[in-house]
Amino acid sequence: MKILGASDADLAVAAGALREGKLVAIPTETVYGLGGNGFDPVALARIFEAKRRPTFDPLILHIAGLEELDRVADLSLLSRESVDRLDRLSHTLWPGPLTLILPKRAAVPDLATSGLSTVAVRFPAHRVAQRIIRLAGVPIAAPSANPFGYLSPTRAEHVAQQLGDRIDYIVDGGRCSVGVESTILDLSSGGPRILRPGGTARERIEGLIGPVELWKGTGATPTAPGQLASHYAPHAALELYPRGALERLGPPQAGEGYVFFDSPSREAWLRRWGPSVVSGTEAPVLRLLSEGGSLLEAAANLFEILHELDSLALKRVYVERVPDEGLGAAINDRLFRARSTAKPGAPL
């Protein structure tokens, strides 16, 4: 595996490798993606293999312009209402952290969609991703660049640690600004449904197209494995508590991590436990998602902090939920699935 930068020469190498069917991890504004040529079944199979991902789990195809949508999605199969919704959403929220489920074109290999008649499409906002897709000249299939079920990567180093020996290149585009995966919205039939909360807030979508349903999977046959009860999990045991509840746990011990949403929560905890921590020899690790209580900042820091705590080999990590509005819905969703009490595949 070789790490590339964002120079013209490096991006040409990345695009050339993708065209040849190699695997290239690429930066996007949400998380790093494990990219492969979306029209090449062998490249798609390599993605599943590198991720150790069950093949029932379909991939997102990434495009670099609205005009490319027609290559992967058959919009003639959409109802008038859905076409209208697609127009509003794609013109306002693309490029950005929104994935749309649409009827698929025959040219899209079944391996990309796990045999479904629909395809997931996203136009990412990251300039480096856009340039690579354009240079490659094909849609790029890219799941999050982590082994199946583990934390998503928000830095090139995370990808190198997790998948470095299984892929050809990593393009280092710096830290991901959004930090949680895209919101997945199904427009393919019936009313619009959010299949996965993510980097585009539900309120933003509803402001454009009216009410959308939040789809609650059965867990047994997930439409999106991000819907599996256990996903995005760190190695440490993660326990999730209501906001403000961490100060009621204790006494704190070495080998533990505490992740607070904002400084008032941390201050309250420190008032209660600070003296014992200061006098003890081995303190727990304290982290803050956002000093000023910004959900945008908290989303950007979420996986970053969980990766860091995992690298410290902590036994147990206590996290408080964040307000359930805007990007908070996506953060709470990821935390819920990352908690250690969740059983893989269990109903939600």
> Contacts with ligand TXA: how many residues (CB under 6 A)?
29
Taking the complex as a whole, the smallest distance from the CB of residue 223 to ligand TXA amounts, in Å, to 5
3-state secondary structure of 239: strand
Please identify, using beta-carbon distances, which residue of 196 and 266 lies nearer to Mg ion. 196
Residue 142 touching ligand TXA (CB under 6 A): yes
Nearer to ligand TXA, 116 or 208 (CB): 116
| Partner whose footprint covers residue 195, from Mg ion, ligand TXA, none (CB < 5 to 8 Å by kind) | ligand TXA
Q: How far apart are CA 128 and CA 254, in angstroms?
A: 41
Range in contact with ligand TXA (rule: CB under 6 A) among 7-15, 223-231, 262-270, 286-294: 223-231
Backbone φ and ψ for 90, nearest 5 degrees, come out as: -70, -35
Question: Is residue 226 at the binding interface for ligand TXA, with CB under 6 A as the rule?
Answer: yes
Is 230 one of the binding residues for ligand TXA (CB under 6 A)? Answer: no
How far, in Å, CA of 151 to CA of 231, rounded? Answer: 8
Q: Among 78, 132, 136, 184, which residue interacts with ligand TXA (rule: CB under 6 A)?
A: 184
Question: Measuring CA to CA, which residue among 195, 212, 162 is closest to residue 330?
Answer: 195
Binding mask 185-214 for ligand TXA (x = CB under 6 A): ----------x-------------------
- Reported residue count of the chain is 348
The answer to whether 194 touches 213, Cβ cutoff 8 Å, is yes
Pick between residue 222 and residue 252 the one whose CB is nearest to ligand TXA. 222
Peptide bond into 251 cis (omega under 30): yes
Nearer to Mg ion, 78 or 142 (CB): 142
Residue 230 site contact among ligand TXA, Mg ion, none (CB < 5 to 8 Å, cut-off depends on kind): none
Is 179 one of the binding residues for ligand TXA (CB under 6 A)? no
- 59 is an interface residue for ligand TXA by CB under 6 A: yes
Binding mask 129-158 for Mg ion (x = CB under 5 A): ---------------x--------------
Q: CB of residue 33 vs ligand TXA: minimum separation in angstroms?
A: 3
Which residues ranging from 287 to 316 are in contact with ligand TXA (CB under 6 A)? none
Q: What region, left, alpha or beta, does residue 313 occupy, with left being phi > 0 and alpha being psi -120 to 50 degrees?
A: left
Q: How far is the CB of 148 from Mg ion (least distance, A)?
A: 8
What is d(CA 183, CA 97) in angstroms, rounded to the nearest whole number?
A: 6
The strand order across the sheet containing 316-320 reads 237-241, 316-320, 256-260, 285-288
Residue 80 burial (C-beta neighbours within 10 Å; 0-12, 13-18, 19+): exposed
Residues 253, 26: Cα–Cα separation, whole Å: 39
Judge whether 115 and 44 are in contact, CB under 8 Å. Answer: no
CB of residue 41 to ligand TXA, shortest distance in Å: 16
Segment near ligand TXA (CB under 6 A); pick from 14-22, 70-78, 80-88, 93-101: 93-101
Among 93, 151, 224, 335, binds ligand TXA (CB under 6 A): 224
With beta carbons less than 8 A apart as the criterion, state whether 348 and 228 touch.
Answer: no
Task: Say whether residue 143 binds ligand TXA (CB under 6 A).
Answer: yes
Token pair, residue 236, equals 């440490």
Q: How far is the CB of 273 from Mg ion (least distance, A)?
A: 35
| Cβ–Cβ under 8 Å, residues 159 and 12 | no
DSSP 136-169: HTS-EE--BSSSTTBPPPSSHHHHHHHHGGG-SE
Binding positions for ligand TXA, rule: CB under 6 A: 28, 30-31, 33, 57-60, 97, 99, 101, 113, 116, 118-120, 122, 124, 142-144, 181-182, 184, 195, 223-226
